[in-house]
A and B are shown apart, each in its own frame.
Chain A
């Protein structure tokens, strides 16, 4: 157990170090969702978006939940990238030739991605707060948002790692990533409520796990516990299932690649 924690601490610190060495990339990773979506998109559509449709006092306040979950989505889907590079340049082999527990590398990645994502979610909520968006459920609500984000993020990161271990080249990986990310956002309640979507898009968006996550986060920010709880209960159930499927797939891909 002591050895296990020693390994995981060291491997997690490696991800942190890498991030801190890539200051430029770190800045963009952290700032991009806030800048693009929350500040630009949120303010741009402030008047174009109908408050009757979004059912909220401003478009930014409506959009905040969407940007939080989008950040989780993007970080999760990109969570396997570094392992992909490790696999391609042989560093993964070097790690696996040491007497570490077979799960340590993956676990360190989950810890890292989850932590970074949570910090980013906090910053987004902070920026939204500057634009007058205050989560009505307070700190407990923020904690619940983080929990939902973590649960969604674990499944997504598992998908990303499974892809990293399965693809033949990193070109394939990035094509699939690019193909997945935007449709997932547009076919969810991130930018527009389902009711206001064209029928077929709204229909598809119902099946998007992102929609469920957003539908639980949004009332935590805008409405209050009474409206939020049923959604939160629902999304936790859904995410347990989602994570179980993703982790199972991820574990299989990992065993195929390593075992």
Chain B
């Protein structure tokens, strides 16, 4: 599959005070996709993002954005990209409109361009009503929308979002997701960091799972899940002495990939739930083995994360420091 490449990261490394925050990272982001850097806090995803937006110089390797080097052509990269930092990066004393006016000057827009674009963007993120109120009166969701409008102001080819929905309520999150999808519709390439699995799963076209400064897995969320090997059916059996017997029977059924026994039941990896589920239930019936509980789920990104990093993403969530 050869798709046009927007960002080419090659053997990227960044060392702070002898600690390797990012270690030999290589990946490509395709034009027009939503690409997610998923990982726990301190995994190196923010460092990677900050190298891409020219705020950090890599210790080794390189990052190219539409062919422009993030160090040598930093100024031209900055003209090509938009950046949406984490939520608090706004000036509480300025109004929403003033934020956009300030950035319009920093991107060297002409007065005509600025007066045309700013109302459009305010309308796009639904902030027209509050545009002339100081940002300190904004809710978290409104600040985030303002952030996004700021990121879109330069009409970027690539938009970088740092934890776009961190700390937002559910409704605001969904709204932000809609905005991000709308950007993809407009042909903008989106690169975002997140430590929310559901966000990576539902919003991103492809994700890179980063842990300890390295890429552990890369691909579309679905590919990664399928790569784990089938959907998972968990049975809890009432009479524990029948577990072995049931396991033996299930192993011979069609569309079954693997069976693991637990003291009170079975974990079954299946290729096709449509075929496997009825067969499993029938086998249980035949052996008069009463089932207490059946759980069926497709592999979640959670499972992918655990499979590749050996731990759950939530294990070290409380750490505040993110480098």
Contacts and interface: CB of A to CB of B under 8 A. Distances in A.
Contacts of A170: none
Contact of B78 (A21, A89, A93, A97): A97
Nearest to B88: A89
Nearest to B106: A98
Interface in A1-55: 3, 6-7, 9-11, 13-14, 17-18, 21-22
A258 B55 CA distance: 7
A251 interface: no
A22 B93 contact: yes
A22 B94 CA distance: 11
A168 interface: no
A126 interface: no
B53 interface: yes
Interface stretch (B31-39, B97-105, B165-173, B216-224): B97-105
Contacts of A96: 55
B94 A97 contact: no
Contact of B91 (A6, A91, A99): A91
A144 B222 CA distance: 72
Contact of A10 (B83, B90, B93, B102): B102
Which one of B57, B89, B102, B105 has the greatest number of beta carbons of chain A within 10 Å?
B105
A171 to B, nearest CB: 16
Contacts of A95: 106
A98 B81 CA distance: 8
B155 interface: no
Given A17-B98, A21-B93, A90 B85 contact: yes
A256 interface: no
A9 B105 contact: yes
B93 A93 contact: no
A229 interface: no
Contacts of A6: 105, 108
Nearest to A88: B88
A96 B50 CA distance: 11
Given A90-B89, A94-B150, A97-B54, A17 B94 contact: yes
B83 A94 contact: yes
A100 interface: yes
Nearest to A20: B93
A45 to B, nearest CB: 38
Nearest to A91: B89
A7 B55 contact: no
A89 B108 contact: no
B89 A93 contact: yes
Which one of A9, A21, A258 has the greatest number of beta carbons of chain B within 10 Å?
A21
Lowest 6 A-B CB distances belong to which pairs?
A: A10-B105, A90-B89, A99-B78, A21-B93, A98-B106, A97-B83
29 contacts: A6-B105, A7-B106, A11-B102, A11-B106, A13-B102, A14-B91, A14-B94, A14-B102, A18-B91, A21-B93, A21-B94, A21-B134, A22-B93, A90-B85, A90-B86, A90-B88, A90-B89, A91-B89, A91-B90, A93-B89, A94-B83, A94-B150, A95-B106, A97-B53, A97-B54, A98-B154, A99-B106, A100-B106, A258-B55
Interface of B: 50, 53-55, 57, 75-76, 78-79, 81, 83, 85-86, 88-91, 93-94, 98, 101-103, 105-108, 134, 150, 154
